[in-house]
Amino acid sequence: MSSKTKNNELEYLFSSSNIKVLETRLLTHNMLDKLIEAEGTEEVLKILSAQGYNTSEVDPKDPHFYDSLVKREHTSLFKNLSKIVPDIKYFNFFLYTHDYLNIKALLKALCQGRDTDIHSDSGSIPYELLKKAIVEKNYSILTQNMSEGIAEALKAYSESMDPQTIDIILDKRCFMDMLNAAENSNSKFIIEYIRTYIDVTNLKNFLRLRKMGKDLGFAERVFSNGGSIKTEFFINLYNKKDDEVSSAFKGHKYESLITFGLSHLNKPGGLGAFELECENAIMDFVRKARYIAFGPEVVAGYIIAKETEFKNIRIIMAGKSAGLSSDKIRERLRKTYA
């Protein structure tokens, strides 16, 4: 963040007051419940429109209308925030996961000599520019971690011929980019959010890889640095028994999460239930931003709130399309910010 913006929370007075108004239009649990019980697309669109969604381009006959709607709303989110936030690029780290998703897809296609139609238009770098950079091997528009990550991933793939190595390397680089951007924001809230995000991802990988029977050597490659828990902690515990793992987390801030994971992982749907619990734990932290009057935390909190809202809309609509019961859909919803 520039010296002008760094540490200057007063610059966020205008944007924060505007965002506090926007927060009143976030979907609450009651509104999500109305979406679940809505009969037909027209009723769904009416509810979303009342909360500020632009439904004018939606084709009610398209069973997957919600996917294109959410994609447009995500793009609009950053476009609209750019009009009121001092400099929206300081929040680009929220878009890095989309950039890295595109990079991974493009590299796999390049390595395997095929085209890819899997991409996101929600990254910080326009997809066509990113694709051109990778094809031409001119990485000047990319971050240093992206450039170094591409070189590292291509080398690892040439040695192993395993596409998974591309995912592992670039996922870790994505976290590095996110943490660098968070630290440059000089916001304790944003830094702690990213560290929490990394911690929870490591927790999910720790239990998931153990359940899959992956060896320690593989797990070591997956764990990411940057969280409040050192990767060595996970490595040292990896081959321990469940009760030893539980004891190691006694009194830890993630004690309840690891206890939940250990008790649910061997049950049907246990991994999905644990991942939901992890996302809810992150939202519990993010909700602290609601009580901050002004500053970059307000902007970050709102962005995370909207991204969770988009996810919940997809969960509801996909569940309805699949014929799931209302109760089953409710079980899958993420905690809301509102």
Instruction: Write out pLDDT tens, residues 176-202.
Output: 999 998 888 888 889 999 999 999 999
The better pLDDT of the pair 220, 12 is held by 220
Report the range of poorest mean pLDDT among 89-93, 115-119, 166-170, 301-305: 115-119
pLDDT at 68: 85
Residues 333/277, Cβ–Cβ less than 8 Å = no
Q: Residue 83 pLDDT > 80, yes or no?
A: yes
Instruction: Encode burial over 53-67: b for 16+ CB neighbours within 10 A, e otherwise.
Output: bebeebeeeeeebbe
What is the C-alpha to C-alpha distance for residues 102 and 36, in angstroms, rounded to an integer?
A: 32
pLDDT tens across 132-157, in order?
999 999 999 999 999 999 999 999 99
Q: Residue 3 pLDDT > 70, yes or no?
A: no
Residues 277/263, Cβ–Cβ less than 8 Å = no
pLDDT at 201: 95
Q: Residue 237 pLDDT > 90, yes or no?
A: yes
pLDDT at 308: 93
The better pLDDT of the pair 331, 9 is held by 331
Q: How far is CA 179 from the centre of its chain?
A: 14
pLDDT at 142: 95
Q: Residue 7 pLDDT > 70, yes or no?
A: no
pLDDT at 8: 59
Q: Residue 162 pLDDT > 50, yes or no?
A: yes
pLDDT at 2: 39
CA distances to 79, 132, 234, 309 from 184, rounded to whole Å, are 22, 28, 27, 27
Tell me the average pLDDT across 83-93.
84
What is the C-alpha to C-alpha distance for residues 290 and 132, in angstroms, rounded to an integer?
A: 40
Tell me the average pLDDT across 61-85.
86
pLDDT at 9: 65
pLDDT at 55: 85
Label residue 248 by pLDDT band (50, 70, 90): very high
Residues 313/66, Cβ–Cβ less than 8 Å = yes
Assigned token pair, 113? 């000599």
Number of helical (H) and strand (E) elements in the chain, helices listed first? 16, 0
* C-beta pairs of 141-150 under 8 Å, 24+ apart in sequence: 143/177, 145/173, 145/174, 145/176, 145/177, 145/180, 146/99, 146/100, 146/103, 146/173, 146/177, 148/173, 149/103, 149/173, 150/103, 150/107
CA distances to 98, 113, 278, 303 from 291, rounded to whole Å, are 29, 51, 22, 15
Residues 287/177, Cβ–Cβ less than 8 Å = no
Backbone φ and ψ for 75, nearest 5 degrees, come out as -65, -40
Report the range of poorest mean pLDDT among 58-62, 195-199, 213-217, 255-259: 58-62
Q: Residue 241 pLDDT > 60, yes or no?
A: yes
pLDDT at 64: 81
Tell me the average pLDDT across 253-277.
89
pTM attached to this predicted model: 0.87
pLDDT tens across 118-132, in order?
788 888 999 999 999
pLDDT tens across 43-55, in order?
888 888 888 888 8
Instruction: Encode burial over 184-197: b for 16+ CB neighbours within 10 A, e otherwise.
Output: ebbbebbbebbbbb
Tell me the average pLDDT across 150-173.
93
pLDDT at 219: 93
pLDDT at 254: 92
